[in-house]
């Protein structure tokens, strides 16, 4: 496709409630959107980088800068989405920025050809079961109220954020209140060290689906040592930034489940490669979330419909995070979200909603 130009747009999306993790509390999501304009169609990509480099080394201002100064100049005049990754290889890292640009090119291409994201990626289902991520709360009673509300909404899996001092007790309280049949998992966001292994082993009796990213992002060897001591399966998130990382983690026994977040991994094409690799090794995958708007959510729901996504993902309804989404809201139905079937992402930003949350736009002609 010949790219006429690219719009970098920043939006500020207030969360319906503070979302606390082991690395900070989000109250507003500052998001970089990338719009690729071609003669045939426009395409959208949502950069999942946070406003500060606390989840990973990337952050929204940095992503905009690297796209503006290095990624766009690296794109050939006419480009196919499958060639974007190769064209951007000389730039090291910046996977979330690359993912947003590649996704926007892919979306434009698919809108022009009339193919949906799900059909292109190889979706095997037309709806996906939805889990929900529950932040660290001020008290056990407020946690139980939140979990009750999400179960009432129909979520099929509960993920609890944990950190030292908020781990065994909240898990025990949820099990005691809601029973053993609720699908339950925890996410530490790298808040522990190997010295905490005895503490993490106290989670084993609660029959958790998994414990996500207990240790440091860059330490597969220690995760492998920890995995050998725990009964609860170890799942990696931040540690897996490519198919090569996934292969190394599987080889080392560092995890038995992987959370696939296309932005973290460098795009939906690499995410599919991780999916395919894991499926070949019998490693279950599920689709993670980064508080995406309906644009990123549409792409994630399409990805989550691939056959190897055998665990419910963090593909929640729009209202989990936003009172007003910038697209038509994703709404849970019987604990599932429908995979968009229209061309490309299958959703469009609603102009009025987008204008309301836009804090800056920048047009870059190519």
Contact track, ligand NPG, 84-123, x by CB under 6 A: ----------------------------------------
Q: Which of 187, 241, 270, 348 binds ligand NPG (CB under 6 A)?
A: 187
190 touches ligand NPG by CB under 6 A: no
Q: How far is the CB of 288 from ligand NPG (least distance, A)?
A: 5
Closer residue to ligand NPG in complex, CB, 292/348: 292
Q: How far is the CB of 238 from ligand NPG (least distance, A)?
A: 7
Q: Which of these segments, 7-15, 107-115, 282-290, 340-348, binds ligand NPG (CB under 6 A)?
A: 282-290
Active site residue 92: no
Active site residue 2: no
CA distances from 26 to 15, 46, 144 (A): 8, 18, 20
Closer residue to ligand NPG in complex, CB, 53/76: 53
- Cα–Cα distance between 250 and 333 in angstroms, integer? 35
Q: Which residues pair with 43 in a beta bridge?
A: 36
289 touches ligand NPG by CB under 6 A: yes
133 touches ligand NPG by CB under 6 A: yes
Question: Which long-range CB contacts under 8 A does 166-175 form with residues at least 24 apart?
Answer: 166/136, 167/199, 167/200, 167/202, 167/203, 168/199, 168/202, 168/203, 169/140, 170/137, 170/140, 170/143, 171/203, 171/206, 171/208, 172/206, 173/140, 173/143, 173/144, 174/143, 174/144, 174/147, 175/206
Q: How far is the CB of 337 from ligand NPG (least distance, A)?
A: 12
303 touches ligand NPG by CB under 6 A: no
Q: Which of 288, 340, 344, 349 binds ligand NPG (CB under 6 A)?
A: 288
- Cα–Cα distance between 251 and 144 in angstroms, integer? 38
- Cα–Cα distance between 191 and 165 in angstroms, integer? 11
Site for ligand NPG in 8-37 (CB under 6 A): 21, 26
Q: Tokens 């987008």 map to which residue?
A: 354
Closest residue by Cα to residue 279 from 307, 301, 242, 240: 307
Catalytic residue among 35, 98, 159, 261: 261
358: Cα separation from own chain's centroid: 22
Burial of residue 224 (CB within 10 Å: 0-12, 13-18, 19+) is middle
Q: Which of 44, 55, 59, 330 binds ligand NPG (CB under 6 A)?
A: 55
Alpha carbons within 13 angstroms on the beta-carbon side of residue 94 total 23
Closer residue to ligand NPG in complex, CB, 292/325: 292
Closer residue to ligand NPG in complex, CB, 267/288: 288
Q: Which residues bind ligand NPG (CB under 6 A)?
A: 21, 26, 50, 55, 133, 187, 189, 237, 288-292, 314, 316
**Which residues are designated catalytic?**
161, 261
């Amino acid at each position: 496709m010949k790219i006429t130009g690219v719009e970098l747009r920043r939006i500020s999306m207030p969360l319906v409630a503070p979302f606390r993790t082991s690395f900070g509390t989000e109250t507003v999501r500052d998001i970089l959107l990338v719009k690729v304009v071609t003669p045939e169609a426009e395409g959208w990509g949502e950069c999942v980088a946070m406003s500060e480099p606390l989840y990973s080394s990337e952050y929204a201002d940095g992503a905009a800068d690297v796209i503006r100064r290095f990624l766009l100049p690296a794109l050939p005049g006419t480009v196919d989405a499958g060639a974007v990754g190769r064209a951007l290889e000389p730039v090291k890292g910046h996977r979330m920025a690359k993912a947003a640009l590649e996704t926007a090119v892919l979306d434009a291409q698919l809108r022009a050809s009339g193919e949906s994201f799900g059909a292109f990626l190889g979706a095997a289902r037309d709806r996906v079961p939805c889990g929900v991520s529950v932040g660290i709360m001020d008290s056990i009673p407020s946690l139980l109220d939140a979990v009750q509300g999400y179960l009432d909404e129909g979520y099929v899996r509960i993920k609890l954020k944990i950190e030292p001092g908020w781990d065994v007790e909240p898990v025990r309280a949820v099990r005691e209140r809601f029973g053993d049949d609720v699908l339950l998992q925890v996410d530490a966001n790298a808040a522990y060290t190997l010295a905490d292994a005895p503490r993490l082993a106290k989670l084993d009796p609660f029959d958790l689906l998994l414990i996500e990213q207990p240790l440091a992002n860059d330490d597969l060897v220690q995760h492998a040592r920890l995995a050998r001591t725990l009964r609860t399966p170890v799942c990696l998130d931040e540690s897996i930034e490519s198919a090569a990382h996934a292969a190394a983690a599987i080889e080392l026994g560092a995890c038995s489940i992987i959370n696939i977040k296309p932005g973290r991994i460098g795009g939906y094409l690499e995410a599919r490669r991780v999916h395919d690799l894991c499926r070949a090794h019998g490693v279950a995958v599920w689709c993670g979330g980064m508080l995406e708007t309906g644009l990123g959510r549409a792409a994630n729901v399409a990805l989550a419909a691939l056959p190897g996504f055998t665990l419910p993902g963090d593909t929640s309804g729009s209202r989990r995070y936003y009172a007003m989404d910038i697209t038509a809201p994703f709404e849970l139905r019987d604990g599932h979200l429908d995979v968009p079937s229209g061309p490309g992402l299958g959703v469009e930003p609603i102009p009025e909603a987008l204008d309301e949350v836009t804090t800056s736009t920048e047009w870059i002609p190519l």
